[in-house]
Amino acid sequence: MFLLISIILAALHSTVFTIISGSSFYEDKNDIYPAELAASLFCLQEGVFKNFHTTINPGPLPIFAEYEAQKRSDASFKYPIPKKDAEGDDYLHILMKFIEFIKPRKIFPTIYFTDGNLKNEYDRFDINERVIKKILEEACEYDVAAQLKIYPMNYLLYFLKFFVAKEKELKGDEEGTESFTSLESAEEEFQREQIEFEFFTVSLKMA
């Protein structure tokens, strides 16, 4: 067991993680109209070393959704609302750009959502997942969809903290680091960190 953990720890420092975040103009239980997709690559050795961002024109919105879409855009990403007579973006082209970003690794990396656990007026955790799935669906790339493994951010925090604790244990660090007791506790920590960050950001703007 200790040998296995040592091997994992040795590889963990150079393992590349992919974090994504998406936004939408409007969504309901049946459909979503994406506005953007962003992603970052990072590893423990180098930190964040590559970023990706693309805006998305989903095509005309339902008439009843235009007010909500404008309100959301004004409060957040500030992109123009899609025109009624304009065609939407080519989702296959967007997907190919995203795949080019996460390649040239031979296998698709595990992808984690960010922003997912804050309780906004709409669930960003759900939005992130639905944005990437909408792109895959519209691009008709079902083989790619089957290869992508997408998990909440608290999964990543849970396993990273577990292996950091094990690393300290192997090194005989008396202080050590406690692992999360569950995925739920990792989610609570993630929520707390995000709320503290937002409070700090607002405080800087008000200073």
DSSP-derived letter for residue 85 is T
pLDDT of 194? 55
Cβ–Cβ under 8 Å, residues 153 and 113: yes
pLDDT of 143? 79
Ranges of the chain whose pLDDT falls below 50 = 115-122, 195-207
* Token duo for residue 123: 């669930």
- Cis status of the peptide bond prior to 104, with omega within 30 of 0: yes
* Token duo for residue 2: 């200790």
Residue corresponding to tokens 């997408």? 150
How many whole angstroms separate alpha carbon 154 and alpha carbon 116? 9
pLDDT of 199? 40
DSSP-derived letter for residue 64 is G
- Angle of CA points 190, 31, 90, to nearest 5°: 95
Task: Determine the 3-state secondary structure of 175 from DSSP.
Answer: coil
pLDDT of 37? 93
How many whole angstroms separate alpha carbon 122 and alpha carbon 103? 32
Calculate the alpha carbon distances from 122 to 154, 186, 199 in Å.
19, 21, 20
Q: How far apart are the first and last CA of the chain?
A: 51
